[in-house]
Chains A and B, each alone.
Chain A
Amino acid sequence: MYVSPVREPLISGEKSYSKVTEEIYAPMTGRPGKTWYAGLTLALIALMFGLFSIFVTVWDGIGTWGLNRTIGWGWGITNFVWWVGIGHAGTFISAILLLFRQKWRTSINRSAEAMTIFAVMCAGLFPLIHMGRLPLGFFIFPYPNTRDVWVNFNSPLLWDVFAISTYLTVSLLFWYMGLIPDIGTIRDRLKNGIKKKIYAFLSFGWTGSARHWMRHESMSLILAGLAAPLVLSVHTIVSFDFATSVIPGWHTTIFPPYFVSGAVFSGFAMVLTLMIITRKAINLEDYITKAHLESMNKIIIATGSIVGIAYITELFIAWYSGVIYEQYAFINRAFGPYWWAYWIMMTCNVITPQLFWIKKIRRSFVATFIISIFVNIGMWFERFVIIVTSLHRDFLPSSWSMYSPTWVEVGIYLGTFGLFFTLFFLFIRFFPVIAIAEVKSVLKTSAEKFIKKGK
């Protein structure tokens, strides 16, 4: 047994290969608990309410929203950007951390990727609804039509269509390819029956052959290499929606890196919020340990600090530019009618994550859980601040306006939570939450025991 003086084991509790299988498979067996049913019911109710709100929007028109001629983007686009941001953690973990050979990712990549896919699905809904006429949604794709026109490839909104649909597709492929060996494991645990047949179908006939593994690894590595710049490109392009316009407060070159780090920041926070609950709920404490928490929190400090620096840089550049409109936009953000949103954003994104510099806090599940929720809230307000406060003081003071959402907008937002959690609850029930094969492959390379320094 290898005893490491510095590194904590990736998986705690001495595990054999079969114990890993057993423990990760356990939550999928037997009857789901009451909390699972309660959670799923709540999520479904939220989803139904969201669908009803979407129906109201489509039936009665966009007038049911709180938008007006000055503020054309409100909660809808705020939520879109927020969800896309959350969808950045999964592929970041599985692609970028794979390239950096961070082995701790094996415990969290599967569920984080699932969250990515679900979050991007939620995000994709908003631009569709925003278009107003859902059945005409396909107009955004370039297809030969009787009008002989093509879509505008010079528009960042169209780049978004390509970026997000590519991101969803590639993430889905990456996630599912990682899943097939584990679905194979589940298939082989099941006795005969319809369930076994379904998993056998889903496992794509996985055998565990060395040749397949070699190709699988080679494919995963190249896919990761492709997905890494893809993750960065998606939020870059989302930020272009703003940055390529001429609205003071939007028209800044800092947006792409600032948005990408914000996305990773909020994505990690969401993964932490959910995984802290999930690990307790389905007894995966040995797999998601304090060491995982600490590694993730370090990324949260890094990205959170980048976001903080970006906020300050924006302020500085607004002053330094000498452009009065730019300066006004930023003073108005901090001290105008929406000052509260700005300061919620500042507190939640810049101040609270700094607590993670303290080792005790970044290794505490309770503290991390609370701070991760702060980050989720802060990042939502960041998008709200960028969108609404930049728009509400138009170029002409006669057009100045205020915005507050109606119940329909709030309902759609709740509905996306419903969609996200419905899918998440089904996922933790029917698929292995942790990448079984990947965890087994790091079992031996990590120390089985470790001695704390000075002890």
Chain B
Amino acid sequence: MKNKTYVSGYFPDDKDLIIAIKELQEKNVDITDVRTPFPVHGLDKVLKMRRSRLPRAGFVAGAIGSIIGFGFQAWVFTEAWPLNFGGKPYLSVPSFVPVTFELTVLFAAFALVFGFLIRSNLGPGADNHIFDEEVTNDRFQILLEAKEGNAESLHESLQSVGALGVQLHEVKS
């Protein structure tokens, strides 16, 4: 197994972080990851992240939930076991609305949550490497992956933009 080398540095404030990221981008440094204690406003734009497709996944799953919910109730009352309620139609759409709605929400919620966990490699027992335990406290960390021994230059460029605690990390991949 080949070890991966990372260079990390942190900022005590989110404003400095964004300025530093912009400076690094001007120097054409590829930013592997940025880790923050809370969602930093505007960071996704600076890092040019694609918009998450989770809403779409939620919509599709919700639509499936609606179809299953409505379809199943319709099948039960028209095909499987038609019951006559005071001469009312077998396919009584209004009374199918609550269950259809609940299943829509349930399916969409599961799709969103599991979509989020799977896409982010998170889950019970997930063992993601944590470079600095203070990131979840008050450090805004920039993480750069070193390739072909450019660790030194990355180290320097991180320091030049004012990052604190610049370090090398060897991680088993």
Contact = CB atoms under 8 A, between A and B. Distances in A.
Interface residues on A, range: 35 or more
A438 interface: yes
B77 A216 contact: no
B37 A17 contact: yes
B136 A219 contact: no
A114 B162 CA distance: 41
A28 to B, nearest CB: 14
A219 B106 contact: no
Contacts of B106: 166, 169-170
A150 B81 contact: yes
A152 interface: yes
Given A207-B35, A215-B52, A226-B108, A159 B99 contact: yes
B134 A188 contact: yes
A306 B121 CA distance: 46
Give the most central of B14, B54, B55: most A CB within 10 Å. Answer: B54
A230 interface: yes
B49 A211 contact: yes
B55 A18 contact: no
B112 interface: yes
Contact of B36 (A158, A204, A208, A215): A208
Contact of B49 (A16, A210, A226, A444): A210
A162 B109 contact: no
Interface string A131-166: 000000000001000001110111010110011001
A185 interface: yes
B52 A154 contact: no
Contacts, number: 184
B144 to A, nearest CB: 14
A174 B112 CA distance: 10
Nearest to B17: A210
A180 B77 CA distance: 43
Contacts of B95: 153-154
B39 to A, nearest CB: 4
B35 A173 contact: no
B171 interface: no
Contacts of B110: 173
Interface in B93-133: 95-96, 98-99, 101-103, 105-106, 108-110, 112-113, 115-117, 119-130, 133
Nearest to A226: B105
A162 B102 contact: yes
A189 interface: yes
Contacts of B54: 215, 218-219, 222
Nearest to B132: A188
A184 B138 contact: no
A440 interface: yes
B164 interface: no
Contacts of B51: 218
A261 interface: no
A211 B112 contact: no
A34 B112 CA distance: 42
B34 A226 contact: no
B116 A188 contact: no
A438 B39 CA distance: 8
A448 B101 CA distance: 43
Interface string A211-251: 11111111100110011011001000100100000000000
B44 A142 contact: no
Nearest to B85: A154
B9 interface: no
Given A17-B37, A204-B117, A210-B35, A152 B99 contact: no
B47 interface: yes
A283 to B, nearest CB: 19
Nearest to B95: A154
A206 interface: yes
A327 B76 CA distance: 40
Nearest to A148: B81
A21 B81 contact: no
B28 interface: no
B130 to A, nearest CB: 6
A441 interface: yes
Contacts of A437: 37-39
A218 B52 contact: yes
A271 B126 CA distance: 34
A233 B98 contact: yes
Contact of B136 (A162, A166, A206): A206
Nearest to A205: B126
A216 B119 CA distance: 11
Contacts of B117: 204
Contacts of A226: 58, 62, 105, 108-109, 112
A188 B129 CA distance: 12
B49 A170 contact: no
Contact of A162 (B81, B98, B127): B98
Interface in B40-98: 40-41, 43-44, 47, 49, 51-52, 54-55, 58, 62, 72-73, 76-77, 80-81, 83, 85, 92, 95-96, 98
B156 interface: no
B47 A223 contact: no
17 contacts: A142-B76, A154-B83, A174-B109, A205-B125, A205-B128, A207-B130, A210-B33, A210-B36, A214-B52, A215-B52, A218-B52, A219-B113, A222-B54, A222-B58, A226-B108, A230-B105, A444-B14
Can you list the 7 inter-chain pairs with the closest CB atoms, starting with the nearest? A205-B126, A17-B138, A188-B133, A159-B98, A205-B128, A185-B136, A213-B39
